[in-house]
Structure 1
């Protein structure tokens, strides 16, 4: 995908999938993007967000800690699989440490 349309257009194609209301459409795009990441034709960082979104919508814990919700104590991350390895997984796909991301999310959301 990147070699055909460039990074900017590839990211633009990812955005509708990330925010799709159809879980089926999101899963189809997820499968295609997984293949593209393996071929280095899509961003592993963008894929991490989609991976978490698909997992959360399926009732599974997220891998990268990108999804938050309003919990009992306020804004909190959705359940995370094996949190001890979270920052290692995040670094592998080019994401900042979780503590930095969480601070950014809280600041952005005004909480």
Structure 2
């Protein structure tokens, strides 16, 4: 998840984790997080809305593909609606220092 400086490794790990999900050895939610992270790291829009940025003025989603169908994609991998996820993240991070970083760096399982 945190090997942003090694995108090839991150993509390979995503493929391996997807195989583990299909074999019943890993959770699809973990794959969705890693898949989104690999997409963002390689300059593409994320699919499942798991990657956020902590900004001075609050939390914002990293670029997102087809936002109008986001909740459907999230449901397909067992993630809650984005409004629920954003509320949870905002409650957890309102007291954090305002330094800009990715949310996954600070608290990977919340994204």
Say yes or no: does 1:19 pair with 2:13.
no
Q: Please point out which of 40, 43, 56 is paired with 2:24.
A: 40
What runs of 5+ residues in structure 1 fail to find an aligned partner? 1-17
Q: Which of structures 1 and 2 has the bigger CA Rg?
A: 1
Q: Which runs of 5+ in 2 are unaligned?
A: 96-111
1:15 is matched with none
SS at match of 2:68: helix
Equivalence for 1:83: 67
Aligned-residue offset at 1:96: 0.6
- Give the Cα–Cα distance (whole angstroms) in 1 for the partners of residues 38 and 88 of structure 2: 22
Name which structure has the greater RCO, CA cutoff 8 Å, separation 6+. Answer: 2
TM-score, structure 1 normalization: 0.75
In 1, the alpha carbon distance for the partners of 2:47 and 2:24 equals 20
Give me the whole-angstrom Cα distance separating, in 1, the residues matched to 2:46 and 2:32. 9
For the residue of structure 2 that corresponds to 1:50, the secondary structure is helix
Q: SS in structure 1 opposite 2:64?
A: coil
Q: CA deviation at 1:20?
A: 2.7
Aligned length: 94
